[in-house]
Amino acid sequence: MGRLLLVGNSRWHWARRQADGLHVWHEPGPPQGACGDAGEPWADLEAWAAVGALPQDRPPPPERRLGLERVPLADLPPWLGIDRALAGWQAWRRQGAGVLVADAGTCLSLTWIDAAGRFRGGRLSAGLALQLRSLGAATAQLPTLTAGAELGDCADPWPRATASALEVGCLTACAAAVLQGWRDLQASGEASQLWLSGGDGERLAAVLGQAGLTPALAPDLALEGLAALAQLS
């Protein structure tokens, strides 16, 4: 079966259909052989979408690109990232009601889709890893950290060590942005379910759980949306 590709800002997200569902994997950039090698690296590519940069010498075939105009949501502005549209559509169709999708990747995006399937707006801020890198780059004494698997395991909410203080501070800042967005939406009287996606979604879910929230966790929501929409085309 063919591959599906979502080109993100910092990673390439892949999927292949299997009998038991989608097999998903992630790579830091173009796959081996995608640029300049002999053969046809995109021969089995079923569909793709992109928000990040594409290889200049051998980009994916444009006829297999899935654009924003193909996402069946109402009132989508032309500037909206296809990843947000796909994740919002997939959460909305799975929920069968209004959703607030928090995608915790390079960018932490909040996307509100109402019960009628209309894009109602959102919020954007720096994601967890980007916050950590930015603090290291913009300060003289703070280290540059990478968001690793251990992030979010710090039991002490007030660490004494600098690295742990950065980890807990940035993770808490991301969770607070999601929590405030959720509270603002609930205060408006719009019934919605919170969905978490992206590489740092699981870490945020743990912090939000401490605040009494139980979001639906779907790390690869945008890829699932791409796969579903490709089948409908």
Cα-trace Rg, the chain:
19
**Sheet (strand 193-197) strand order:** 119-126, 107-113, 99-104, 193-197, 216-217
Mean pLDDT of the chain: 90
For the record, the structure tokens of 85 come out as: 């549209």
pLDDT digits (tens, 9 = 90+) for 66-117: 999 999 999 999 999 999 999 999 999 999 999 999 999 999 999 999 999 9
**Sheet (strand 45-50) strand order:** 21-27, 12-18, 3-7, 45-50
pLDDT digits (tens, 9 = 90+) for 11-30: 999 999 988 889 999 998 77
The answer to whether residue 148 scores a pLDDT higher than 80 is no
Could you list the active site residues? 83
pLDDT digits (tens, 9 = 90+) for 203-221: 999 999 999 999 999 999 9
CA 41 to chain centre: 25
Domains of the chain: 3-64 (no CATH), 74-232 (3.30.420.40)
> Helical H runs in the chain?
82-95, 128-138, 162-187, 201-210, 221-232
Q: How far apart are CA 189 and CA 120, in angstroms?
A: 14
Q: How far apart are CA 31 and CA 211, in angstroms?
A: 40
The answer to whether residue 154 scores a pLDDT higher than 70 is no
Q: How far apart are CA 67 and CA 174, in angstroms?
A: 29
